Amino acid sequence: MKIKFYKYQGAGNDFIIIDNRSVNFPKGNIKLIQNLCHRKFGIGADGLMLLENSKDYDFKMMYFNADGNEGTMCGNGGRCLVAFAKQFGIISTKTTFEAIDGIHHAEITGTNVSLQMQDVNDIESSYNHIFLNTGSPHHVEFHKDLTKLNIYKKGKEIRYGSPYFEEGTNVNFAQQLNSNTFKVRTYERGVENETLSCGTGVTAVAIASNFLNISDSNHINLQTLGGNLEVSFEKKNNIFKNIILKGPATFVYSGTIEI
Task: Using CA atoms of 11, 15, 19, 24 in order, give the dihedral in degrees to the nearest 10.
Answer: -170
* 201 close to 172: Cβ distance less than 8 angstroms: yes
According to DSSP, the residues that pair with 139 across neighbouring strands are 131, 171
User: Can you tell me the distance from the alpha carbon of 68 to that of 163, in angstroms, rounded to the nearest whole number?
Assistant: 24
Q: Which of 66, 123, 158, 198 is catalytic?
A: 198
Q: Does residue 84 come out as left (phi exceeding 0), alpha (psi in the -120 to 50 range) or beta?
A: alpha
Quote the Cα angle for 39-41-42, to 5°: 70
* 185 close to 146: Cβ distance less than 8 angstroms: yes
User: Can you tell me the distance from the alpha carbon of 30 to that of 59, in angstroms, rounded to the nearest whole number?
Assistant: 23
Coil vs helix vs strand at 191: coil
Q: Which of 17, 74, 106, 220 is catalytic?
A: 74
Backbone angles phi, psi at 2, to 5 degrees: -95, 140
Q: Quick check: is 37 catalytic?
A: no
Rg (alpha carbons) of the chain, rounded to whole number: 17
Backbone angles phi, psi at 129, to 5 degrees: -160, 170
Coil vs helix vs strand at 174: strand
Positions marked active-site: 74, 198
